[in-house]
């Protein structure tokens, strides 16, 4: 089984959704389709200006777009958050997010739908393989590293699992292959 197949299998086992795309442009189009379907504002994590502009053009004012580093009050109102993980981990079916400010971190944690874009060449076999990525981030200053393995889950003493209580109930990854 390929590393990408293993990652997808594990991510989906944990309730994450994966949609394969051929390019960043296709991912932007699919993100726009998803946000229009939700009819809710989109909060975006840090990205380059060209990508943000492409999202604005694709959405054509259909929904509000909250740019990177938006205030907490806007991120809380978003129906979806779009992030750009640093890596995928096949061993756990997790995406690794590295954030240098709280606004970016909250884009994946507060909205009920978390959308993410990842290139398949960013998928590594194990958690040990992301250590270098985390180490490099630490040299840039304060940061947070978050592993996300599907929708938010919590359990009670009777081991009843409930999804989406303390975070997104849907996590959809647009995976460029």
Query: Cβ neighbours of residue 52 under 8 Å, at least 6 residues apart?
Result: 44, 65, 67, 68
pLDDT band at 35 (very low <50, low <70, confident <90, very high): very high
Residue 165 pLDDT > 90? no
Q: For the segment 84-137, what is each residue's pLDDT rounded down to a tens digit?
A: 999 999 999 999 999 999 899 999 999 999 999 999 999 999 999 999 999 999
Query: Cβ neighbours of residue 134 under 8 Å, at least 6 residues apart?
Result: 96, 98, 145
Q: How much is the pTM?
A: 0.94
Q: For the segment 135-152, what is each residue's pLDDT rounded down to a tens digit?
A: 999 999 999 999 999 998
Residue 19 pLDDT > 80? yes
Mind listing the domains of the chain with CATH numbers?
3-176 (3.40.50.10420)
């Amino acid at each position: 089984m390929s590393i990408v197949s293993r990652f997808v299998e594990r991510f989906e086992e944990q309730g994450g959704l994966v949609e394969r795309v051929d390019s960043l442009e296709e991912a932007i189009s699919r993100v726009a389709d998803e946000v229009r379907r939700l009819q809710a504002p989109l909060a975006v994590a840090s990205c380059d200006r060209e990508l943000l502009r492409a999202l604005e053009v694709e959405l054509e004012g259909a929904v509000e777009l909250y740019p990177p580093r938006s205030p907490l009050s806007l991120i809380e109102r978003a129906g979806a958050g779009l992030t750009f993980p640093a890596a995928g981990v096949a061993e756990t079916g997790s995406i690794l997010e590295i954030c240098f400010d709280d606004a970016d971190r909250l884009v994946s944690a507060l909205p009920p739908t978390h959308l993410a874009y990842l290139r398949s060449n960013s998928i590594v076999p194990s958690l040990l393989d992301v250590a270098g990525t985390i180490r490099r981030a630490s040299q840039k200053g304060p940061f947070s590293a978050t592993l996300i393995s599907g929708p938010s889950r919590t359990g009670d003493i009777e081991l009843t699992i409930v999804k989406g209580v303390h975070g997104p109930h849907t996590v959809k990854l647009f995976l460029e292959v």
